[in-house]
Structure 1
């Protein structure tokens, strides 16, 4: 997909900055609480899987459209990205459920 030259680097840089801050905040909270290991590990897995999903999505939107089977390749990469994104959302949901259970007991 044609786009301005700086767009992809801005997308990657912005995403990396935000996810990096979120990972550091999650690690800080995990170290501070020293419990809820499953919840915090699930949230970190969410960030990891989300990053992998967006990697495949970026590969799809920057794929060479002059390739003979470009449509199929782009569709495959978007599909893989969607499946990995779904797994990341499941990890986030597990983390949220685990955190809510711990807070009810406390």
Structure 2
């Protein structure tokens, strides 16, 4: 898909900064709390899968227009990004469940 010049770079930089801050905050909390390792691990997996999904999304929106099978490759990249994003959301939900279970046992 055609984008204005510089938009893709801004998207990559913005996503990287936000993901870096989120991962750093998560790891900092994990190091400070030292409990509920499973919940933190599921959340880290979520961030990793999400990063990979965005990588495939970027590949899909920045394809070569002159390529003969550009449409097919674009569709495939979007499909891969969607499947990986699904696994990312599963990991996030598992992490949320683990965090909510840990709160009940502390009372």
Q: Which residue of 1 aligns with 2:48?
A: 48
Q: Deviation digits for residues 41-97 of structure 1, max 9, x if unmatched?
A: 111111111000000000000001221111110000000000000000000000000
Q: Distance in 2 between the 1:94 and 1:32 partners?
A: 21
Q: Distance in 2 between the 1:13 and 1:68 partners?
A: 30
Alpha-carbon deviation of 1:13? Answer: 0.3
Q: Which residue of 2 aligns with 1:12?
A: 12
Superposition TM-score, scaled by structure 2 size: 0.97
Any idea what SS the aligned residue of 1:5 has?
coil
Q: Give the stretch that moved more between structures: 50-59 or 62-71.
A: 62-71
Q: Which residue of 1 aligns with 2:95?
A: 95
Any idea what SS the aligned residue of 1:102 has?
helix
Q: List gaps (5 residues or longer) in structure 1.
A: none
Please tell me the root mean square deviation across aligned C-alpha atoms, in Å.
0.6
Q: List gaps (5 residues or longer) in structure 2.
A: none
Q: Which residue of 1 aligns with 2:64?
A: 64
Superposition TM-score, scaled by structure 1 size: 0.98
